[in-house]
């Protein structure tokens, strides 16, 4: 483990690298130039996984040039524009999902003879470029991506030679990287830990694909809580170790170590400077939100299998009552227990919470309005949803129409039902489900001719006519 001095710290980053929009610190840029110029022996490929607009590729290419060339940096990325996290760093105004390779090429033009860019989904990647000497990874954004990268590129790493530079090592959302790498000191030797930014570098000690190599099937279950505590607390105690603090906090939440997580956060906050405090609190909040996303999955699983007591326990453990999507789930639990007033209360709170809530909450709400005989509110909400939502999936549309059917059957307000049908047909004239619903209402309003006509049209549009049966049950 190398401590000071940091030989890369005095290196000048040329403008052709520094001016490329990027998510790296200056030290990370210096380091990438240094690692390819000072440490490279020319024994294999230099690979950049997740280069985005190419700052990392350009820095690696600059180092390759300074050390006499001989290889081209292999830059592999999805190259699909994601507004949510890319636009903040580069206001390119590209459509969501668009190919941003032209922008990459433009930004890295000064190194075009030293960089090859290839579009690749690393979840299903391939590598046929032979031994890899330097693997820079800024794409290990999930357990699955980490596993896929280890599986595809791991066998081409050479023990005693290859360096893996992990840009996300101390990044809170990718808290598994210290677990994966530090849990196997027999495989990985830590070489560098940058002072600014999240990067750490490891050298491979033994073949990854051998019997005792990395399993490359890592998940939360690969580690025990005590192991997590051991790995992170060792890092935390090192000089400058507080930089791993939020990843440790995030990991403790995932491993249900809530008491320890609280204690750690209190310690981190008390050691923070006034300038750091707001950033730290904000990141800790983000860590809790990301952890809640994990909690929502088992919660909905428990709701769907009717294990409502388990669902309650998960909701409490994950403090989901503070999170709008969690509030929806708690409302659904109340609804399934038949407490519709409480359910409505939670749905309302969720909506007031302001998070983007999908249309199922409107459906849940309408279900409870029907159960509490608030038919007008239910009808209005469902009709509005169907009118405003062209892309409602077929099963959801059917579900919405079931609710309308319940309103109609219980309330028997012909005027409301016929007006709703007319508005829905005008908006969705070719929807077999809506035609069937309108046909049923017409029949029950003593208009058999109109009913036959609507049903006939539904049958033409949907010859299997699976939809007709349910509406008349
Ligand atoms: C944080 S950005 C990289 C920042 C960049 N290294 C820099 O220096 O500014 C993450 C990159 O990973 C890429 N990425 C995410 N998921 C991917 C996948 N499944 N396959 C390939 N690339 C992926 C994104 O397109 C993005 O360019």
The string over 298-310, giving b where at least 16 C-beta atoms fall within 10 Å of a residue's C-beta and e elsewhere, is ebbebbeeeeeee
pLDDT at 25: 97
Atom of ligand 1 nearest to the CA of 123: 19
DSSP state of 72: -
Mean pLDDT in residue range 449-456 = 89
**pTM strictly above 0.85:** no
Q: And the tokens for 418?
A: 């016929």
Is pLDDT of 455 > 90?
no
Supply the mean pLDDT for the chain: 90
pLDDT at 468: 57
Poorest-confidence range of 179-188, 368-377, 412-421?
Answer: 412-421
Is pLDDT of 473 > 60?
no
Mean pLDDT in residue range 201-226 = 89
- C-alpha dihedral over 206, 208, 213, 214, to 10 degrees? 130
Mean pLDDT in residue range 243-250 = 95
Q: How far is the CA of 145 from the centre of ligand 1 (A)?
A: 11
Q: How far is the CA of 51 from the centre of ligand 1 (A)?
A: 6
pLDDT at 206: 95
pLDDT at 408: 86
Poorest-confidence range of 164-178, 193-207, 390-404?
Answer: 390-404
Poorest-confidence range of 25-39, 72-86, 395-409?
Answer: 395-409
Q: What does the pLDDT look like over 293-317, one tens digit per residue? A: 777 877 888 898 899 998 888 888 7
pLDDT at 120: 97
Q: How far is the CA of 50 from the centre of ligand 1 (A)?
A: 3
Q: How far is the CA of 139 from the centre of ligand 1 (A)?
A: 5
pLDDT at 195: 93
Q: Could you tell which of 77, 151, 173, 177 is best to mutate to test the pocket of ligand 1, judged by most ligand atoms within 8 Å of the CB? A: 77
Is pLDDT of 395 > 80?
no
Beta-bridged to residue 190, according to DSSP, are 202
Poorest-confidence range of 56-60, 61-65, 225-229, 262-266?
Answer: 262-266
Q: Which residue has the tokens 């990392």?
A: 56
Domains and CATH numbers, the chain: 7-220 (3.40.50.150), 223-271 (no CATH), 383-473 (1.25.40)
Is pLDDT of 417 > 50?
yes
Q: How far is the CA of 10 from the centre of ligand 1 (A)?
A: 28
Is pLDDT of 128 > 90?
yes
152 lines ligand 1 (CB under 6 A): no
Is pLDDT of 179 > 80?
yes
Is pLDDT of 244 > 90?
yes
22 lines ligand 1 (CB under 6 A): yes
Mean pLDDT in residue range 400-407 = 89
Poorest-confidence range of 38-47, 237-246, 316-325?
Answer: 316-325
Is pLDDT of 87 > 50?
yes
pLDDT at 297: 77
Is pLDDT of 29 > 70?
yes
51 lines ligand 1 (CB under 6 A): yes
pLDDT at 467: 53
Residue 19 pLDDT class (50, 70, 90 cuts): very high
Count of CA atoms in the C-beta half-sphere (13 A) of 84: 1
DSSP state of 13: P
146 lines ligand 1 (CB under 6 A): no
- Report CA 455 to chain centroid distance, whole Å: 43
DSSP state of 87: T
Contact present, 139 and 166 (Cβ < 8 Å): no
**Residue of the CA atom closest to atom 1 of ligand 1:** 138
Other residues' Cβ atoms within 10 Å of the Cβ of residue 394 = 13
385 lines ligand 1 (CB under 6 A): no
CA 206 – CA 213 distance, rounded (Å): 7
Mean pLDDT in residue range 52-57 = 98
pLDDT at 7: 94
Q: What does the pLDDT look like over 98-111, one tens digit per residue? A: 999 999 999 999 99
Q: How far is the CA of 339 from the centre of ligand 1 (A)?
A: 46
Residue-wise DSSP of 315-342: HHHTTGGGSHHHHHHHHHHHHHTT-HHH
Is pLDDT of 394 > 80?
no
Beta-bridged to residue 200, according to DSSP, are 166, 193
Q: Which of 27, 87, 28, 26 is nearest to 52 (CA)?
A: 87
With residue 115 as reference, give the H or E element that holds it: strand 115-119
Q: What percent of the chain has pLDDT over 70?
A: 95
Q: Is the dihedral of CA 255, 258, 263, 264 positive or negative?
A: positive
Q: What does the pLDDT look like over 134-174, one tens digit per residue? A: 999 999 999 999 999 999 999 999 999 999 999 999 999 99
Residue 53 pLDDT class (50, 70, 90 cuts): very high
Is pLDDT of 2 > 50?
no
Q: What does the pLDDT look like over 335-391, one tens digit per residue? A: 999 999 999 999 999 988 865 567 888 899 999 999 999 999 999 999 998 888 666
């Amino acid at each position: 483990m190398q401590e000071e001095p940091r030989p890369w710290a005095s290196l000048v980053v040329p403008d052709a690298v520094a001016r490329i929009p990027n998510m790296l610190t200056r030290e990370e840029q210096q380091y990438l130039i240094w690692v390819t110029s000072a440490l490279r022996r020319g024994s294999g490929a230099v690979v950049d996984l997740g280069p985005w607009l190419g700052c990392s590729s350009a820095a690696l290419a600059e180092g390759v040039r300074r050390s006499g060339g001989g290889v081209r940096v292999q830059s592999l990325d999805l190259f699909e524009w994601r507004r949510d996290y890319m636009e903040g760093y580069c206001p390119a105004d590209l459509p969501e999902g668009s190919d941003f390779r032209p922008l990459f090429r433009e930004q890295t033009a000064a190194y075009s003879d030293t960089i090859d860019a290839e579009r690749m989904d690393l979840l299903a990647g391939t590598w046929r470029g032979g031994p890899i000497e330097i693997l820079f990874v800024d794409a290990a954004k999930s357990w699955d991506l980490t596993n896929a990268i280890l599986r595809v590129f791991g066998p081409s790493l050479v023990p005693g030679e290859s360096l893996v530079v992990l840009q996300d090592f101390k990044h809170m959302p990718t808290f598994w990287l210290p677990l994966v790498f530090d849990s196997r000191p027999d495989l990985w030797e830590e070489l560098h830990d940058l002072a600014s930014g999240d990067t750490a570098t490891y050298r491979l000690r033994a073949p990854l694909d051998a019997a005792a190599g990395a399993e490359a099937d890592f998940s939360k279950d690969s580690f025990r809580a005590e192991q997590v505590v051991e790995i992170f607390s060792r890092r935390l105690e090192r000089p400058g170790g507080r930089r791993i603090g939020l990843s440790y906090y995030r990991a403790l939440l995932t491993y249900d170590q809530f008491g320890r997580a609280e204690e750690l956060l209190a310690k981190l906050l008390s050691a923070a400077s006034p300038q750091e405090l707001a950033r730290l609190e904000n990141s800790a909040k983000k860590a809790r939100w990301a952890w809640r996303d994990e909690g929502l999955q088992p919660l909905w699983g428990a709701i769907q299998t009717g294990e409502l007591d388990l669902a309650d326990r998960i909701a409490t453990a994950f403090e989901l009552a503070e999170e709008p999507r969690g509030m929806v789930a708690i409302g659904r639990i109340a609804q399934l227990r038949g407490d519709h007033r409480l359910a409505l209360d939670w749905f309302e709170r969720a909506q007031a919470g302001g998070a983007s809530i999908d249309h199922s909450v409107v459906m849940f709400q309408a279900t409870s309005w029907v159960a509490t005989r608030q038919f007008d509110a239910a009808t209005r909400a469902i009709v509005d949803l169907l009118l405003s939502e062209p892309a409602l999936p077929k099963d959801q549309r059917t579900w919405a129409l079931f609710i309308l059917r319940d309103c109609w059957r219980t309330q028997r307000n012909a005027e409301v039902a016929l007006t709703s049908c007319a508005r829905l047909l005008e908006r969705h004239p070719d929807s077999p489900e809506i035609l069937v619903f309108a046909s049923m209402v017409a029949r029950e309003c003593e208009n058999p001719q109109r009913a036959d006509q609507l049903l006939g049209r539904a049958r033409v549009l949907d010859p299997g006519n699976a939809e007709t049966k349910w509406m008349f049950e």
